[in-house]
Amino acid sequence: MNAPAGQPDLSHLWMPFTANKQFKAKPRMLAHAEGMYYTSGDGRRILDGTAGLWCVNAGHARAEIVQAIARQAASLDYAPGFQLAHPQAFEAASAVAGFMPPGLDRIFFTNSGSESVDTALKIALAYHRARGEGQRTRLIGRERGYHGVGFGGISVGGISPNRKTFSGALLPAVDHLPHTHNLQQNAWSKGQPAWGAHLAEELERLVTLHDASTIAAVIVEPMAGSTGVLIPPKGYLEKLREITARHGILLIFDEVITAYGRLGAATASEFFGVTPDLITMAKGVSNAAVPAGAVAVRREVHDAIVGSVEGGIEFFHGYTYSAHPLATAAILAALDIYRREGLFERARTLSPAFEAAAHSLKGAPNVIDVRNLGLVAGIELAPRHGAPGARAAEAFQKCFDQGLLVRYTGDILAISPPLIIDEAQIGEIFERIGKVLKDIA
């Protein structure tokens, strides 16, 4: 396919999670980014209502991060991480540990959320095996959970389009908790919904069915984002923690979108006051300037695995780019900005105004729910008869055309701006969405 003069040829790139044919017929290009704004390929300013993909928490093109990456690329572009290291890898691990709940201070680096999830699942299996409980191989996820796209992640994940094509090759010993989304009970909740803590007790049913001695870990997003913003009911996470601890099952919080300030605290664990055994992260850890991810591991879990081997490699797992020098440079610079600028506190301070602005959409055409926590809001639209997702897709396109980036999953719009947003920009996001919804049948 020949491209028009000045335009790239669109034919070679197979785009991820994208309707390729529709996109290529009407491309949405981004050319530049700074602070709260993208600039589109045709030169329009687009207010970033989603921090990219829930990841640019400190805003775009932060000079300190750009400079740190450039300095690092010039002095040490790459260092193998197997049996070798570079000092910044250790500094970055210490810095990440400083943001984690007490006790989760052993850090394994990856390059993405999907890799962090698969790494955490492997750590869970290795931990039980190291302690002589190698029969604990079962992993428990949750319906509607999103844990990336590795085979481990889609196996414990609960989004059926992500699973069905690969159903013959999913991990064998997996079960799922029910999701917690219930509009009859919880529509228009501000913050955590009141109904649904009892759904965590379904874990007891799975323990009775499979026996605790076969279960390695439970993995959940403390607040599920990609599936359409599902806020945990009050008391739900506490119950999961209590049941897992009682049965010797590890609890993994997938904090790929919640870590680094999204809820107004360093982690969702800190925000909810519930400490798991492992935390997976990516996205905000480097402000998305270089692909990076990590798993924070409770010290005893790490020690059980590393201490179980006399000499030689203790854990047969790792990536060519684990603790890549450019990633560690970006991580150190991003974490420094978060701390120096108090961005998590800023998110917490802004969240009441954000909540009020989001809920101002109650009564807008076709809105059947608004829910929110920290700097996250979900706006659920009534699906069109016979065309689920079409109404939200149209809203997304119209918002983009009118200079606002939102995300959609099914018929749910998700808003998760950079934490540097101000109150005027918060107002602008929800006013524009309100206007767009008035234009959509």
Ligand X SMILES: Cc1ncc(COP(=O)(O)O)c(C=O)c1O
- Please tell me whether residue 374 binds ligand X under the rule CB under 6 A: no
C-alpha 258/C-alpha 113 separation (Å) is 12
Alpha-carbon span 96 to 244, nearest angstrom: 25
Nearer CB in complex with ligand X: 226/287? 226
Q: Does position 257 bind ligand X by CB under 6 A?
A: yes
- Where b means 16+ CB within 10 Å and e means fewer, 418-431 reads bbbbeeebbebbbe
Nearer to ligand X, 192 or 258 (CB): 258
Is-contact 334 289, C-beta < 8 A?
Answer: yes
- Pick 158 or 196: Cβ nearer ligand X: 158
The tokens describing 153, both together, are: 């992640």
State the minimum distance, in angstroms, from the CB of residue 157 to ligand X: 8
Q: Whose structure tokens read 């990536």?
A: 319
Alpha-carbon span 344 to 96, nearest angstrom: 15
In the bound state with ligand X, the residue whose beta carbon lies nearer, of 116 and 192, is: 116
> Considering the complex, what minimum distance in angstroms separates the CB of residue 267 from ligand X?
13
Q: Considering beta carbons, is residue 367 or 412 the nearer one to ligand X?
A: 412
- Minimum distance between the CB of residue 221 and ligand X, rounded to whole angstroms? 5
Nearest residue to ligand X by CB is: 113
Rg (CA), the chain: 22
Tokens 């970006």 sit on residue: 330
| Residues numbered 204-243 forming contacts with ligand X, rule: CB under 6 A | 221, 225-226
* Secondary structure class of 273 (helix, strand, coil): coil
Residue 296 makes contact with ligand X by CB under 6 A: no
Torsion of CA 55, 60, 65, 70, to 10 degrees: 110
* Beta-bridge mates of residue 60: 35
Q: Which helix (H) or strand (E) holds 204?
A: helix 202-210
Phi then psi for residue 230, to 5 deg, are -110, 115
- Smallest distance, ligand X to C-beta of residue 219, A: 9
Binding pattern to ligand X, positions 167-206, x when CB under 6 A?
Answer: ----------------------------------------
Count CA atoms closer than 13 A to 159's CA, side-chain side: 16
Q: Is residue 147 a contact residue for ligand X (CB under 6 A)?
A: yes
The 10 Å Cβ neighbour count of residue 398 is 18
Is 158 an interacting residue with respect to ligand X (CB under 6 A)? no
The rounded distance, in Å, linking the Cα atoms of 30 and 102 is: 40
Among 57, 72, 114, 269, binds ligand X (CB under 6 A): 114
Nearer to ligand X, 157 or 325 (CB): 157
Query: Of 64-72, 78-86, 106-114, 377-385, which segment contacts ligand X by CB under 6 A?
Result: 106-114
Nearest distance, CB of residue 34 and ligand X, angstroms: 23
Contacts of 233 (CB under 8 A, 6+ apart): 180, 186, 192, 193, 194, 195, 196, 197, 199
Taking alpha carbons only, the member of 223, 267, 270 closest to residue 376 is 223
Q: Does 279 bind ligand X (CB under 6 A)?
A: no
Kindly state whether residue 148 participates in binding ligand X, applying the rule CB under 6 A: yes
Please identify which residue in 206, 274, 282, 288 interacts with ligand X, judged by CB under 6 A. Answer: 282
Nearer to ligand X, 49 or 113 (CB): 113
Give the one residue of 48, 118, 254, 270 binding ligand X; rule: CB under 6 A.
254
What does each C-alpha distance from 376 to 25, 362, 371, 399 come to in angstroms?
A: 31, 16, 8, 18
Closest to ligand X by CB, 147 vs 346, is 147
- Of the chain, the end-to-end C-alpha distance in Å amounts to 36
Specify the DSSP element, H or E, that contains 218.
Answer: strand 215-220
Among 127, 146, 236, 321, binds ligand X (CB under 6 A): 146
Between residues 114 and 287, which has the closer beta carbon with respect to ligand X? 114
Q: Which is nearer to ligand X, 86 or 283 (CB)?
A: 283
62: helix, strand or coil: coil
Q: Which is nearer to ligand X, 17 or 316 (CB)?
A: 17
Our finding on whether 301 is near ligand X (CB under 6 A) is no
- Listed ranges 60-68, 142-150, 271-279, 386-394: which one lies at the site for ligand X (CB under 6 A): 142-150
Out of 58, 93, 117, 197, the residue judged to bind ligand X by CB under 6 A:
117
CB of residue 107 to ligand X, shortest distance in Å = 17
What is the distance, to the nearest Å, from the Cα of residue 266 to the centroid of all Cα atoms in its chain? 14
Q: Closest separation between CB of residue 44 and ligand X, Å?
A: 26
Distance CA 329, CA 327 (A): 5
Residues lying near ligand X in the complex (CB under 6 A) are found at 112-114, 117, 146-148, 221, 225-226, 254, 256-257, 282
